[in-house]
């Protein structure tokens, strides 16, 4: 049985601003003559690319096909804010371990994964504006400040250093007195995400065939797998599913995943007088105190990015989100009255009810890593690397630890799921208040 249900890939209104700023790249869209592969990997984001690389390295005699519905740089991997955060986002999926044990385990795994990603960046000379300068967490409300103070207590338990700042100190660094309290930690690297994913794809081992512009529309349930696309059908002995929330459209984990769209806007390059109003650091980024708050980033080339707002399963089709982002920007930087957004785009991620990703062998020879919960760059890379090693039969302590983590919890069917998610978004937005 070849299973498909609904669209298994996103359709976006606008191109990614990150990708639009890069030189033109020729997509790999020529259909290969071969239709049979040892492994087919579905999804050329950070997870799929890392998995394809590790399978190819561990099994150099094998043939791997990497399928991407869009073109590399225009998918979700090229639409995030470019934070590569090497700290846990969720310590509540520890399995038999305590939250502290699981946090320390994740920190070790992410440190190893970040080192691997850094090595790849240097080896292939990927020009992705890699900058290991850390990040700010900032709060505009008393409730947000309380959350951040709880976070730094957690950091203390983990042995993670941080530096706290009051309103005036933050203004010196980021150019606005909008935030009442914040802290900075070194556990983040900034990248140009579209440049990074393009560089990783274009430097895969020679036994990986990349095929872009080829959405998967169906997948059989057992090996040999029949992978149906909009262009032709491929067959493989093993399959890796790394298309995040769209796995459910292929009949996988439909009662565990939801897809959520988020939105970002980026200014044109600001002039020197405008940049002087943005603090004394040439690059910085702010993580909000509430998950529905606004993320900000000042880039190396003198732009300002704001990311906020969520929509369930579909991209919002009017300009209300752009107006919201404009307001968020203006409230923080009223001194930049002449600012202009040059780029505006949406991106999709996959959430689970309990914040756990699905990782492992879902069926014999079907390997799945989906449900990144908005932490895709490093987590996706790490999980993809380990999933590739699982496919190749390579054992490690990191792989064993990830295999023992909790799985995503059950979600109610529609329309109850939509009602629950929409209600949660509205509630969290009300709680966020001025963090938005």
* CATH code of residue 338: 3.30.9.10
Q: Are residues 157 and 235 in the same domain?
A: no
pLDDT at residue 8, as a whole number: 63
Any residues with CB less than 8 A from the CB of 240 and at least 6 apart, and which? Answer: 39, 40, 41, 42, 48, 51, 52, 55, 367, 368, 369, 387, 388, 391
Neighbours of 41 (CB within 10 A): 35
pLDDT class for 5, splitting at 50, 70, 90? very low
In a domain, 110, yes or no: no
Residues 227-242 as b/e (b if ≥16 CB within 10 A, e otherwise) read bbbeeeebebebbbbb
Q: What is the pLDDT of residues 284-331, one digit of tens each?
A: 999 999 988 999 999 999 999 999 999 999 999 889 999 999 999 999
pLDDT at residue 424, as a whole number: 87
Bridge partner residues of 165 (DSSP): 182
In a domain, 109, yes or no: no
pLDDT class for 4, splitting at 50, 70, 90? very low
Alpha carbon of 374 to those of 31, 98, 249, 304, 371: distances in Å? 32, 23, 19, 21, 8
Q: Are residues 35 and 6 in the same domain?
A: yes
Q: Are residues 8 and 31 in the same domain?
A: yes
pLDDT at residue 204, as a whole number: 98
Q: Are residues 150 and 72 in the same domain?
A: no
Q: Are residues 168 and 209 in the same domain?
A: no
Q: Are residues 345 and 426 in the same domain?
A: yes
In a domain, 268, yes or no: yes
Q: Are residues 172 and 221 in the same domain?
A: no
Could you tell me the residue range of the domain that residue 262 belongs to?
136-186+258-351+419-436
Q: What is the pLDDT of residues 262-295, one digit of tens each?
A: 999 999 999 999 999 999 889 999 999 998 899 9
Distance CA 96, CA 106 (A): 14
In a domain, 333, yes or no: yes
Mean pLDDT, rounded, for 126-147: 97
Q: Are residues 423 and 328 in the same domain?
A: yes
In a domain, 387, yes or no: yes
Q: Are residues 358 and 331 in the same domain?
A: no
pLDDT at residue 64, as a whole number: 98
In a domain, 97, yes or no: no
- The answer to whether 406 and 94 are in contact (CB under 8 A) is yes
Residue with tokens 């990927």: 126
Q: Are residues 282 and 211 in the same domain?
A: no
Q: What is the pLDDT of residues 141-197, one digit of tens each?
A: 999 999 999 999 999 999 999 999 999 999 999 999 999 999 999 999 999 999 999
Mean pLDDT, rounded, for 202-209: 98
For strand 233-241 and strand 366-370, is the pairing parallel, antiparallel, or unpaired? parallel
Asked whether the CA dihedral 287, 290, 291, 292 is positive or negative, the reply is negative
pLDDT class for 426, splitting at 50, 70, 90? confident
Distance CA 167, CA 142 (A): 12
Q: What is the mean pLDDT of the chain?
A: 94
User: How many structural domains does the chain have?
Assistant: 2
Q: What is the pLDDT of residues 334-391, one digit of tens each?
A: 998 777 899 999 999 999 999 899 999 999 999 999 998 877 799 999 999 999 999 9
In a domain, 26, yes or no: yes
Closest to 224 (Cα-Cα) out of 209, 208, 238: 238
pLDDT class for 94, splitting at 50, 70, 90? low
Phi, psi angles (nearest 5°) of residue 139: -125, 135
Is the pLDDT confidence value at 93 over 80? no
Q: Are residues 327 and 223 in the same domain?
A: no
Q: Are residues 269 and 219 in the same domain?
A: no
In a domain, 280, yes or no: yes
Alpha carbon of 96 to those of 92, 102, 107, 228, 317: distances in Å? 11, 9, 18, 39, 44
């Amino acid at each position: 049985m070849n299973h498909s249900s609904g669209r298994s890939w996103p359709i976006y209104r606008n191109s990614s601003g990150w990708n639009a700023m890069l030189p033109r790249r020729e997509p790999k869209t020529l259909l290969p003559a071969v239709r049979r592969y040892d492994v087919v990997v579905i999804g050329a984001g950070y997870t799929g690319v890392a998995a394809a690389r590790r399978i190819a390295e561990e099994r150099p005699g094998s043939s791997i096909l990497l399928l991407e519905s869009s073109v590399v740089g225009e998918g979700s991997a090229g639409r995030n804010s470019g934070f590569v955060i090497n700290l846990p986002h969720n310590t509540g999926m520890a399995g038999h371990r305590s939250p502290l044990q699981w946090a320390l385990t994740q920190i070790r795994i992410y440190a190893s994964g970040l080192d691997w990603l850094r090595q790849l960046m240097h080896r292939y000379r990927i020009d992705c504006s890699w900058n290991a300068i850390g990040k700010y967490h900032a709060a505009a409300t008393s409730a947000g400040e309380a959350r951040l103070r709880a976070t730094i207590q957690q950091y203390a338990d983990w042995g993670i250093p941080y530096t706290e700042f009051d309103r005036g100190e933050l203004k010196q660094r980021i150019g606005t007195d909008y935030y009442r309290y914040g802290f900075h930690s070194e556990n983040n690297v900034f990248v140009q995400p579209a440049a990074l994913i393009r560089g990783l794809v274009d430097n895969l081992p020679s036994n990986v065939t990349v095929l872009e512009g080829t959405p998967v529309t169906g997948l059989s349930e057992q090996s040999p797998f029949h992978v149906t696309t909009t262009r032709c059908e491929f067959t493989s002995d093993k399959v890796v599913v790394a298309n995040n929330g769209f796995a459910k459209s292929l009949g996988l984990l439909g009662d565990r995943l939801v897809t959520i769209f988020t939105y970002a806007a980026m200014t044109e390059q600001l002039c020197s007088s405008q940049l002087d109003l943005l603090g004394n650091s040439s690059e910085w980024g702010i993580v909000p105190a509430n998950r529905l708050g606004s993320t900000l980033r000042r880039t190396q080339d003198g732009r300002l990015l704001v990311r906020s707002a969520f929509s369930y399963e579909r991209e919002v089709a009017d300009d209300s989100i752009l107006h919201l982002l404009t307001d968020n920007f203006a409230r923080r930087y009223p001194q930049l009255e002449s600012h202009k957004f040059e780029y505006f785009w949406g991106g999709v991620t996959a959430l689970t009810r309990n914040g756990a990703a699905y990782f492992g062998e879902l069926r014999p020879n079907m390997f799945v890593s989906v449900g990144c919960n908005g932490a895709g760059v490093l987590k996706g890379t790490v999980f993809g690397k380990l999933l590739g090693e699982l496919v190749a039969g390579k054992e490690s302590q990191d792989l064993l630890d990830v295999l023992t983590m909790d799985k995503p919890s059950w979600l109610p069917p529609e329309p109850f799921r939509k009602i629950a998610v929409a209600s949660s978004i509205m509630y969290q937005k009300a709680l966020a208040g001025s963090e938005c």
